[in-house]
Chain A
Amino acid sequence: MSLFSLSRFAAVLFKEFVQMRRDHLTFGMMIGIPILQLVIFGFAINADPHNLPTLVEMADESPVARAVLSGMETSDYFDFVGVVTGAEAGDAALREGTANFVVVIPPDFERDIIRGLSPEILISADASDPTAVGAAMGALNGILDTAIRQTLTGPLAAVAARPAPFSVVLHKQFNPEGETAVNIVPGLLAVILAMTMVLITAVAIVRETERGTMETLIATPVRPLEVMLGKILPYVFVGYVQTAVFLVAAQLMFDVPFTGSGLAFFVGFNVYIVVNLALGFLISTLVHTQMQAMQASFMLILPTILLSGFMFPFAGMPGWAQTIGTAIPATHFLRIVRKVMLKGGGMADITGDLRAIVLIGLVITAISLLRYRQTLD
């Protein structure tokens, strides 16, 4: 009696492949869902987010400079989370996703205003999430105008009245054209995979219980791990096809760039697929009918869409929501995809999120193997 039998594993694997091939619904899901979702989300979704994390580099500590910042903060769009020095640090934060904006107040800002030299405030924005940047930038001109007028009073009021006492230079990074689709689309991959991978495995296993074939299956000496791996691997293949369809469609419809490391993407999405399949397996141990499996999968999809940073910028969510979001695999995969596709990231950039997904996956696998019943009780 071996602990793991290749023969039994192969039995489950081949069986599952054949069943999948004969099930037209699986194929429909594989091809149809990515395209359908791309069209719906890519063209339709928009939002007006607030409290976006912002870093400041203050080369001038004058009252006017401070008034500009406090004006930005009271607008609710920006949330100053820290101070940086040097363009390097700011760029790193944007790449990491810890900040959406870096505001740079140039040296002698106040003096230059009074001299009428029209100094430039530089704002670097992570435009890979254009909804976040767009709304905030739209509001910015009004915010700054008000701030200036309120500070420059008395003899300086004349300065404030001059056209353009200073200017704002917006430097959009990662998605210079600010296309919403460019941001939505990579995130959508995370959501689509979560949706189909979880559902497909959960249903594939519960179907055995519903049709009674589970009795034959567990009357054989098969072990839980053999069943789990044999059931999961064929759907990894489905995940591959879905991702391929998705990437091609995204390229054709929205011209989404792919700037980073292919390896990092490959590693990330493999791990992500497996974790979702394991989650599907876990659901199958909690429900009894295919209908319940479907409902459970859809319930899981809601937090995935709302709390992963797909719909709303993750950094702009309240703390409790971020805590929940951190436990969702999609949150991390979303970051990986955005980093790799839009920000040119490589393996080094994704290790943190990769580790998080693996950890979530291990927990899920452990629970499902514990829950998996080898009896009919």
Chain B
Amino acid sequence: MSAESAISVRGLTKVFGANTVVDSVDMEVPTGAIYGFLGPNGSGKTTTIRMMCGLLTPDGGEGRTLGHDIRTEARAIKENVGYMTQKFSLYGDLTIRENLDFMARMYGLKNRKAVVADTLCALGLEGRGNQLAGTLSGGWKQRLALAACMQHKPLLLLLDEPTAGVDPKARRDFWDEIHRLSRQGVTVLVSTHYMDEAVQCDYIAYIAYGKKLIDGPAREIPARVGLTTWRVDGPELIALEDALRADPRVEQVARFGAQLHVSSIDAAALDAVVCEWTQKDGTHTWVKKDAELEEAFIYLMTTSADNFGQTGAAAQ
């Protein structure tokens, strides 16, 4: 591998009918990084990933994945990419072992039997190799699909919501595995809706309506969004929450356990709000806190609203 980015795309665009589903997206995924891909439902994540591995032909833009042109060298890309689809797309009428064996053959793996046995073992499914994949529970299907796309030791993993429906323990194991792979130099692009997963990424891109709103190293994202946040402790938070929501100077009120996080882009306006409240009721404690990824994304998500409604309206 050269030192260049694992994925590098410019102006990537995809149009379905009248909808521009992915709109001039630039993206740079450094080799060996864990790159989080976030965005509301229907924002174009899956479509973007498909274009990156040559499964969809872009209507505009260009790019290279693992150094190969995404338009003309799809096959070379596919040899070294492990792609896990969002929807389970292994064969439900084949057994777990048969599915793994199929994938092993597809990539021409040596010692196929041993590789498949290892995968089954790592999954903890040694005893269930002969169960039909279609009869697995949703979470187990995800884990099988993930194992299947990693069997050929790809240089790049494209994971489309790999942990949707997976229990917390399995999710933690999954992320441990991702970090381990990353240390070995494997690049991982992972789309997710979970914030606790986003914070584990080295880089993050956020996409809405097919447009990339922000991208960069994960720790820089909150600062770039530029949100000022105050943490509020105290009694009767519900009443306070309602009051704050009604205040136009407060852009975001989010509940975190027994606390409220009150945020705005306009730091001065928010200071004024905090000042008013501390004066007229002393029961709550207000502490200014460092902006975190989580608030930043809630902010991005609420301001970009629901993509589906927007494109639906545009189509009419």
Contacting pair A213 B91 (CB below 8 A)? yes
Which of the residues B91, B98, B101, B103 comes within 8 Å of A220, measured between beta carbons? B103
Taking CB atoms, residues of chain B closer than 8 Å to A219 are 53, 55, 78, 81, 83, 85
Q: Is B74 an interface residue when CB atoms closer than 8 A count as contact?
A: yes
Closest chain A CB from B236 CB (angstroms): 49
Q: Which of A261-302 contact B (CB under 8 A)?
A: none
Q: Say whether B63 faces chain A, with CB atoms less than 8 Å apart.
A: no
Cα of A46 to Cα of B93 in the assembled complex, Å: 44
Cβ–Cβ contact A375 & B54, under 8 A? yes
B69 to chain A, nearest CB (A): 14
**A215–B79 alpha-carbon span in the complex (Å):** 15
- B56 contacts the other chain (Cβ, under 8 Å)? yes
Stretch from A12-20, A87-95, A109-117, A135-143 contacting the other chain:
A12-20
Cβ 8 A contact of A376, one of B50, B76, B102, B103:
B50
Closest to B59 in A: A377
* A374 CA to B77 CA, complexed, in Å: 13
The distance in angstroms between the C-alpha atoms of A212 and B85, with both chains bound, is: 9
* Residue B113, interface by CB 8 Å: no
Among A1-9, A71-79, A194-202, A340-348, the one that faces the other chain is A1-9
B243-261 near A? 1/0 per residue, CB < 8 Å: 0000000000000000000
List of B residues within 8 angstroms of A14 by Cβ: 101-102, 105
Of the residues A18, A19, A212, contact of B89 by C-beta under 8 Å: A212
Question: Quick check: A7 and B56 within 8 Å, CB to CB?
Answer: no
CB distance from A372 to the nearest CB of B (A): 14
Question: Which secondary structure dominates where chain A touches chain B?
Answer: helix
**A-facing mask of B51-83, CB < 8 A → 1, else 0?**
001111100000000000000001110110101
Residues 83-108 of chain B, each 1 if its beta carbon lies under 8 Å from chain A, else 0: 10101111111100010011101111
* Complex alpha-carbon distance, A100 and B24, angstroms: 70
CB <8 Å contact, B107 and A221:
yes
Give complex CA distance A264, B76 in Å.
44
**Interface assignment of A241: CB less than 8 Å from any CB of chain B:** no
Task: Give chain A interface residues in 208-235, CB to chain B under 8 Å.
Answer: 211-216, 218-223
Q: How far apart are B153's CB and chain A's nearest CB, in angstroms?
A: 14
Asked whether, in the complex, the Cβ of B55 is within 8 Å of the Cβ of A216, the reply is no
A222, B91: Cβ atoms closer than 8 Å? no
How far is A213 from B88 in the complex, measured between Cα atoms in Å?
Answer: 8
Given contacts A11-B106, A220-B106, contact A376 B55 (CB under 8 A): yes
Interface band, chain A: 20 to 34
Number of interface residues of B (CB under 8 A): 30
Chain A hits for B54, CB < 8 A: 375
A-B interface contact total, Cβ < 8 Å: 78
Q: Is A218's CB under 8 angstroms from B76's CB?
A: no
Of A11, A23, A215, A221, the contact of B102 (CB 8 Å cutoff): A11
Q: Which of A18, A216, A223, A376 has the most CB of B within 10 A?
A: A216
- Does A10 make an interface contact (CB < 8 A)? yes
Cα separation A50 to B41 with both chains bound (whole Å): 67
Smallest CB–CB gap between A216 and chain B, Å? 4
CB-based contact B89/A216 at 8 Å: yes
What residues on A are CB-neighbors of B94 within 8 Å?
15, 18-19
Q: Which B residues touch A377, using CB under 8 A?
A: 56-57
Q: Are B108 and A215 in contact, with the CB atoms below 8 A?
A: no
Nearest-CB distance from B156 to chain A (Å)? Answer: 12
Are the CB atoms of A215 and B55 closer together than 8 Å? Answer: yes
Asked if A15 and B53 make an inter-chain contact with CB atoms under 8 angstroms apart, the answer reads no
Residue contact A216 to B90, C-beta cutoff 8 Å: yes
Instruction: State A214–B87 Cα separation when bound (angstroms).
Output: 12
Residues of chain B with a CB closer than 8 A to A162's CB:
none
A19 touches B102 (CB 8 A): no
In the complex the two chains form, is B50's CB within 8 Å of A19's CB? no
Separation of A375 and B70 alpha carbons in the complex (Å)? 12
Determine if B98 and A15 form an interchain contact, defined as CB atoms under 8 angstroms apart.
Answer: yes
A219 CA / B51 CA spacing, docked (Å): 11
> Which of A10, A19, A219, A221: most chain B Cβ within 10 A?
A219
Known contacts A1-B76, A375-B57, A376-B55; A8/B108 CB under 8 A: yes
Cβ contact within 8 Å between A19 and B55: no
Q: Which 3 A-B pairs have the closest CB atoms?
A: A11-B105, A220-B106, A7-B108
Binding site for A on B (CB under 8 A): 50, 53-57, 74-76, 78-79, 81, 83, 85, 87-94, 98, 101-103, 105-108
